[in-house]
Amino acid sequence: MTAVTLELAIGMGLTADEFERVQILLGRLPNLTELGVFSAMWSEHCSYKSSRRWLKTLPTEAPWVICGPGENAGVIDIGDGQALVFKMESHNHPSYIEPYQGAATGVGGILRDVFTMGARPFASLNSLRFGDPKHPKTQHLLEGVVAGIGGYGNCMGVPTVAGECTFDARYNDNILVNAMTVGIADSKRIFYAKARGIDSPVVYVGSKTGRDGIHGATMASASFDSGSDEKRPTVQVGDPFTEKLLLEACLELMSDDVITGIQDMGAAGLTSSAVEMAAKGGCGIELDLDKVPRRETEMTPYELMLSESQERMLMVLQPGAEAQARKVFDKWELDFAVIGRVTDTGRMVLKNEGTIAADMPIEPLAEGLTYDRPWSDTRASEDLPCLPEVAPMEALCSLMTTPDLCSKKWIWEQYDHTVMADTVSGPGGDAAVVRVHGTNKAIAVSTDCTPRYCEADPLLGAMQAVVECWRNLTSVGAEPLAVTDCLNFGNPEKPSVMAQFVKAIEGMSDACRALNFPVVSGNVSFYNETEGSNIPPTPQIGGVGLLDDWGDVVDLALGSRCDRLVLIGNSPGHLGQSLYARHLLGTDMGNPPSIDLAIERQNGNLTRKLIKSGLVTACHDISDGGLLVAIAEMCLAGQRGATLNIGNNPGELFGEDQSRYLVSTTAEFLDRILEQSRVANVPARCVGTVGGDTLTLDSANAISISELTIMHERWLPSYTATERPVRIKGNN
């Protein structure tokens, strides 16, 4: 038997003080199983001990919010008795260690978070951050992650409709893989992770338990070091075909009103699902581990409780419903086992081979710890140096071929984004649009963050992530409704990193309040650090919006009904932290653009009104790369040219000023758009005409759309076609 010592506790991620607290709570030294349970539940990943006090400051309420943070996913009302269920999660550490399975199980986990609440998933998104393309592991990680996302999502039959992918050397040894899923449910039939009814049966369903993923939650709550590649056993192994069966079985049983509580076995597996359900129900739980289905022999209670084997659920059923429920899971050829009961003790009691394997109080396990980490904001303003002169079209062509702005078609073509036949607008635009099946309504979804802004100014950067997501939803004609997030940061024990987090939360809060865009779910991923080097703060924002009629959607492509280009919003020409400056200087310098939230809302509301009135034939928000890049992207999407009258000033062409949209319209509607803008007190001006097969600034600055297309689409396929050696530790 393994001796429980302070050294062992520290090896499991507990501090000396936390280990002492465990002993005080138990009134004795914990056994190995109890120590493992406490270490998992008190990990950063499960307890949110460094972030909890700050997350409580986010706006989470609105008349349409049914369920905010604290459950498996957020829930909002979209009318007609329907609800959206959605969340974003991270699987960063596992995806770096084992990219295919790490990314695949990240998708599987977020899908379970959604359907465990009674929703059928209908759209998935992702946000991927990789290191420098020249780094020896980047290509391997990129290809593995993309394959994992596609492999799991495609088999599940859930379309992957949107996302983003960027490259930056600061993610070299700590990539980010964030996944988001949206589902549809009956607004009156939402299921929660709450155990109810003393002596009600506790049921295990899904796949069998193995030894994969043990201490995955603890691993996700620690920094990387030189031995991280040896942590492959902590990465779960996914089976999408089993998850598809589990989804259908759960939704079928949910229609029979016999489930009183349900929880996905995600991080910390059986431990977290049992503890969280009992805590939310204010009760206790007793489990007989001998009855847990397993695929490996001689598994210990410690292994059974901490395994993160995938495709598993824990349910509480109404007494007497066991036979009915078993019939459903037998039909879908899934394991079904009554492994325990709800009690009134307020404790989690684990039995194994006729003895008590663990006996712990539920409340302190679930509440975890709350730390008020010290933080110090030492950020200083930085002026942008003078930029070298470069011809506008030369700069544009260079930018459009960089990893930042090149076409990501190679990635999204590996995902099935049309399965279920409800995708109206798929990857490549500002936001994806998916019809609510059987109705005229549609949901718009988008993910956004600009880490270089966040590193320069976390408050402004997080604010910008929110407003850009809001703009993207607006750009397709949707009314933005709510936010989920995935907050990726470095080591919170460092005051500078904690300062980034605190200021980012402040920026998010300000933006979400101003835009009436509440945060209803999310995830915090700390300890994205390797050998003392932290990632840039990356508060990823996922947003959802609603269109009353999917036929009203617009996209960014310049089609046959596009005659004029209109710029909505002011353009002072801010180049600090712009991609233009990054490209010319080889580094990120200057301050990010300022944001006026009142103007943001004003300009967005006008743009949405113009779209709904039928005056707009295409729309694109202006963000990375500025105005000229936005125009080029519209030309590429529609394979039509444009002639511009915007001059040659770099700030005008490439500045990343906020609160701006580029819309196209017909010649006959141009005056009406300009007049409505004047009445709304929103700056607007015509900046060019649409037509031909070239993008033209003036006679000396023009490029054919076909040539620009080739440039734009070349880099990523060429990069992935190149074999690069994977760095193996110990090799010269």
Query: In sequence order, which ranges of 402-446 are alpha helices (DSSP H)?
Result: 409-412
Pairing mode of beta strands 618-621, 564-568: unpaired
Annotated catalytic residue within 45, 93, 135, 574: 45
Q: How many other C-beta atoms lie within 10 A of the C-beta of residue 291?
A: 13
Q: For residue 486, give the H/E element and its range.
A: strand 479-488
Pairing mode of beta strands 479-488, 519-525: parallel
CA 66 to chain centre: 20
The whole-angstrom separation of Cα 661 and Cα 654 is 14
Q: For residue 84, give the H/E element and its range.
A: strand 82-90
Which of 527, 525, 557, 520 minimizes the C-alpha distance to 542? 520
- Is 45 designated active site? yes
Which of 557, 703, 696 minimizes the C-alpha distance to 637? 557
3-state secondary structure of 361: strand
Contact 314, 259 (CB under 8 A): no
The whole-angstrom separation of Cα 595 and Cα 451 is 16
* Distances in whole angstroms, Cα of residue 644 to Cα of each of 564, 634, 641, 689: 10, 13, 10, 7
Q: For residue 2, give the H/E element and its range.
A: none
Question: Any idea which residue has 């700390």 for tokens?
Answer: 526
Contact 493, 13 (CB under 8 A): no
Question: Any idea which residue has 């991927």 for tokens?
Answer: 128
- Is 620 designated active site? no
- Per residue in 607-629, is it b (16+ CB within 10 Å) or e — as a string? bbebbbeebbbbbbbbbbbbbbb
* Token pair recorded at residue 386: 């003078």
3-state secondary structure of 644: strand
Q: How many other C-beta atoms lie within 10 A of the C-beta of residue 402?
A: 15
* Token pair recorded at residue 618: 């295409």
3-class SS string, 90-130: ECHHHHHHCHHHHHHHHHHHHHHHHHCCCCEEEEEEEEEEE
Contact 166, 130 (CB under 8 A): yes
3-state secondary structure of 649: coil
3-state secondary structure of 27: coil
**Among positive and negative, which fits the CA dihedral 115, 120, 237, 49?**
negative
CB-count burial class (<10 Å; 0-12, 13-18, 19+) for 385: exposed
Residues with a known catalytic role: 45, 91
